[in-house]
């Protein structure tokens, strides 16, 4: 195995990683049956089996708070000075969704909170910003929380690539899971491959254009990574890609492999990426959380010992921004994994039939500020209770 990249100052990276998802799920076989098409179009064609669907009293805040609470239960709050909330499913044009999370999980007032947005990429930006804060003062810790719900119009080409999840990370010096390494390669280009104007609750997407933009941006970030002195392609034990659907990761990996002078067969690509795809196949697209869901999937499900292995992360956000960087898996990482916890949140979701799914999809919040209460359905520790006087209200479901 190649020597790990240098990390600075001593090492900074992800010490803990916790996921959360929804109360409900829709099996894509049920969607295919409703549409009268072969289920293989989804299970094979795009590499997806199930998508998470939010209950009426769930949103990006409740998922984020659940994942963050798990981090705090294990690690406490000492040293946490910043919470960075990454999302493209923002609930307010002014107030950060992270401020709601701050209150729900009981963080002290001496914690700065800010929300970041750049489509599916912003969690990676938050991670890099967190590393910069810790490099300045290694005694500090930063919570990076990515939470999103992917929603498209019923009957649209994007409907089967919906989903919902949150990933919370504790970033610190001397991390237990993965030390993030220098350098990072970045790429930005103004394209309209996917976007959601302020007046829409569902996104717009140019399907073929989005695939082209994704591959172009990931390739550009990889080229910049090499130009900055990055490690060779063959030195990565695994690469976690942003996964709007898992077959997109296969396309991206083959694209980078060809750029590196390789020509892997489809079976080789599938085998290389299998561990990074297991959770995303069952959750669906989670936008900013997606690449970190892939990382959790890799660490949780890989049979061998990854200690000392170099792992790549290829992050993409439409519009578009991409980044490629590497990390080194740390000794003892297995002691910090949440395998049973993550398996439980995926398996406990309640299946929906298509009629119930459509009802949930069509349910919208009032826009006139009137009193509105949501039905109590989630089994998670936090719920979105409703609205009144244009203000969102949240509750704990347990003492």
Which residues make up each annotated binding site? Answer: 38, 152, 251, 285
Backbone dihedral region of 144: left (phi > 0), alpha (psi from -120 to 50 degrees) or beta? beta
Give the torsion sign (CA, 230, 310, 277, 283).
Answer: negative
Among the listed residues 58, 66, 88, 159, the single catalytic one is 88
Per residue, the 3-state secondary structure of 220-266, as one string, reads HHHHHHHHCCCCCHHHCCEEEECCCCHHHHHHHHHHHHHHCCCCCCH
Q: Report phi then psi at 72, rounded to 5.
A: -70, -35
Is 240 designated active site? no
Question: What does DSSP assign to residue 26?
Answer: E
What is d(CA 294, CA 190) in angstroms, rounded to the nearest whole number? 26
* Residue in the structure block whose two tokens are 């996104």: 203
Among the listed residues 15, 102, 242, 253, the single catalytic one is 242
Alpha carbons within 13 angstroms on the beta-carbon side of residue 390 total 5
Question: What does DSSP assign to residue 118?
Answer: B
Among the listed residues 120, 159, 253, 361, the single catalytic one is 120
* Residue in the structure block whose two tokens are 């220098």: 182
Is 342 designated active site? no
Binding-site residues from annotation for (3S)-3-hydroxy-3-methylglutaryl-CoA: 38, 152, 251, 285
Question: What does DSSP assign to residue 151?
Answer: -
Is 347 designated active site? no
Question: Is residue 87 a contact partner of residue 118, using CB atoms and an 8 Å limit?
Answer: no
Question: Is residue 20 a contact partner of residue 63, using CB atoms and an 8 Å limit?
Answer: yes
Q: Are strands 321-329 and 80-86 parallel, antiparallel or unpaired?
A: unpaired
What is d(CA 128, CA 139) in angstroms, rounded to the nearest whole number? 17
Token pair listed for 216: 């172009």
Question: Is residue 256 a contact partner of residue 313, using CB atoms and an 8 Å limit?
Answer: no
Cite the active site residues.
Answer: 88, 120, 242
């Amino acid at each position: 195995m190649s020597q790990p990249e240098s990390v600075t100052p001593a090492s900074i990276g992800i010490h803990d990683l916790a996921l959360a998802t929804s109360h409900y799920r829709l099996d894509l076989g049920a969607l295919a049956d409703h549409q009268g098409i072969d289920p293989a179009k989804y299970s094979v064609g795009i590499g997806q089996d199930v998508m998470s669907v939010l209950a009426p009293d769930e949103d990006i805040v409740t998922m984020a708070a659940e994942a963050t609470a798990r981090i705090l239960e294990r690690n406490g709050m000492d040293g946490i000075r910043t919470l960075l909330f990454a999302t493209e499913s923002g609930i307010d044009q002014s107030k950060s969704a992270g401020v709601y999370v701050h209150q729900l999980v009981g963080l002290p007032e001496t914690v700065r909170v800010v929300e970041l947005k750049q489509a599916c990429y912003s969690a990676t930006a938050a991670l890099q910003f967190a590393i910069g804060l810790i490099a300045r003062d290694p005694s500090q810790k930063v919570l990076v929380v990515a939470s999103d719900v992917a929603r498209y119009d019923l009957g649209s080409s994007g409907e089967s690539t919906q989903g919902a999840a949150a990933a919370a990370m504790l970033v610190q010096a001397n991390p237990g899971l993965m030390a993030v390494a220098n350098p990072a390669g970045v790429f930005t280009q103004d394209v309209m491959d996917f976007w959601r104007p302020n007046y829409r609750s569902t996104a717009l997407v140019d399907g073929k254009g989005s695939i082209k933009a994704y591959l172009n941006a990931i390739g550009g970030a990889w080229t910049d990574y090499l130009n900055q002195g990055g490690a060779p392609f063959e030195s990565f034990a695994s690469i976690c890609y942003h996964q709007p659907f898992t077959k997109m990761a296969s396309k991206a990996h083959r694209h980078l492999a060809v750029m590196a002078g390789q020509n892997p067969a489809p079976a080789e690509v599938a085998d290389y990426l299998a561990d990074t795809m297991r959770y995303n196949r069952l959750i669906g697209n989670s936008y900013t959380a997606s690449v970190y869901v892939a990382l959790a999937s890799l660490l949780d499900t890989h049979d061998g010992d990854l200690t000392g292995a170099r792992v790549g992360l290829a992050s993409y956000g439409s519009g578009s921004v991409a980044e490629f960087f590497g990390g080194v898996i740390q000794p003892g990482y297995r002691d910090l994994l949440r395998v049973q916890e993550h398996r439980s949140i995926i398996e406990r979701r309640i299946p929906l039939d298509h009629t119930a799914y459509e009802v949930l999809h069509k349910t919208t919040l009032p826009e006139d500020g009137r009193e509105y209460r949501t039905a109590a359905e989630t089994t998670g520790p936090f719920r979105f209770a409703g609205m009144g006087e244009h203000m969102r209200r949240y509750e704990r479901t347990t003492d």
